[in-house]
């Protein structure tokens, strides 16, 4: 995990100019028609910015855990302060819902309270599951399924609302799993930027798209990282179904940031500039 921590620390040295020089090719969904099949991916609007999220159930949205913490104060956002806008496109959405409650892994909550920012466990548990106030119908958006971990070399794609493309959905269609780290952290050669936090990483199975991971962090070399999902998602589903699933605000809570508390750079620890 030392390599992973060093790679994530590179976030702090990445400037907007360096991002602009990226060679990544994106399919930008400029028209409403381009969103066909992607309606379940949406923009998660937060009190101080936005992330990307995706439906994995009629009332369940998957994103990154650090998205639900205020980047300045480190305090968890109240659920009702978040809105999921499915198929967001130039100011309008196919449908939108307020968030009713959310859950993150217990291990992530511990790291947030401790301020352990450079641990690989931060990336390994950087997942949040949000329950919407009302379900979204299948006529509006069809949820995606979560996929088990495939082997390195498997082709993947990332769909997100990135900086400079925050009003339209865009897809990087051609990247792959480069490495599997300890604690089931996956490395990708996908190029991510502000707004890509929580973006679904897709893999194709039997000609159907499944969510393999969510974007947690990235660096100046075009590398990105995300956690394995099945066990974490199962845990969070159970927590949301319990009476005590609502997040508890504590005075010691701090936001996890890879490499420190700076808001500069790209990847997992970012909100709208």
CA 50/CA 90 separation, integer angstroms: 14
Which of 273, 201, 233, 227 lies closest to 119 in space, CA to CA? 227
Q: Which domains does the chain have, with CATH numbers?
A: 2-240 (2.40.10.10)
| 264 CB burial (10 A radius; 0-12, 13-18, 19+) | middle
List per-residue pLDDT tens for the chain, 273 residues long.
Answer: 443 443 343 332 222 333 333 446 778 898 888 999 999 999 999 998 999 999 999 999 999 999 998 877 878 999 999 999 999 999 999 999 999 999 999 989 888 777 664 466 789 999 999 999 999 999 999 999 999 877 777 899 999 998 788 999 999 998 999 999 988 899 999 988 777 899 999 999 888 999 999 999 888 778 899 999 999 999 999 999 885 445 555 544 443 333 233 323 323 344 443
* pTM of this prediction exceeds 0.85: no
């Amino acid at each position: 995990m030392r390599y992973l921590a060093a790679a994530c620390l590179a976030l702090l040295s990445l400037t907007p100019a360096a991002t602009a020089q990226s060679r990544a090719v994106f399919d930008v969904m400029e028209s409403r028609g381009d969103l066909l099949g992607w309606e379940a991916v949406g923009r998660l609007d937060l009190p101080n910015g936005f992330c990307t999220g995706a439906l994995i159930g009629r009332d369940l949205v998957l994103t990154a855990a650090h998205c639900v913490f205020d980047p300045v104060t480190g305090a968890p956002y109240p659920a009702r302060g978040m809105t999921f806008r499915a198929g967001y496109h130039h100011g309008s959405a196919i449908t939108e819902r307020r968030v009713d409650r959310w859950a993150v892994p217990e291990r992530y909550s511990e790291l947030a309270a401790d301020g352990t920012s450079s641990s690989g466990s931060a990336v390994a548990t950087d997942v949040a599951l949000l329950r919407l106030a009302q379900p979204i119908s299948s006529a509006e958006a069809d949820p995606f399924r979560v996929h088990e971990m495939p082997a390195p070399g498997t082709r993947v794609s990332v769909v997100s609302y990135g900086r400079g493309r925050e009003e339209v959905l865009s897809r990087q269609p051609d990247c792959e799993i480069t490495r599997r780290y300890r604690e089931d952290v996956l490395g990708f050669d996908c190029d991510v930027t502000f707004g890509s936090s929580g973006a679904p990483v897709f893999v194709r199975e039997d000609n159907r798209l499944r969510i393999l991971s969510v974007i947690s962090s990235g660096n100046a070399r075009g590398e990105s990282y995300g956690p394995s999902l099945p066990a974490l998602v199962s845990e969070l589903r159970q927590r949301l179904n319990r009476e005590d699933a609502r997040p508890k605000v504590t005075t010691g809570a701090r936001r996890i940031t890879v490499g420190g508390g700076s808001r500069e750079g790209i990847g997992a620890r970012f909100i709208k500039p």
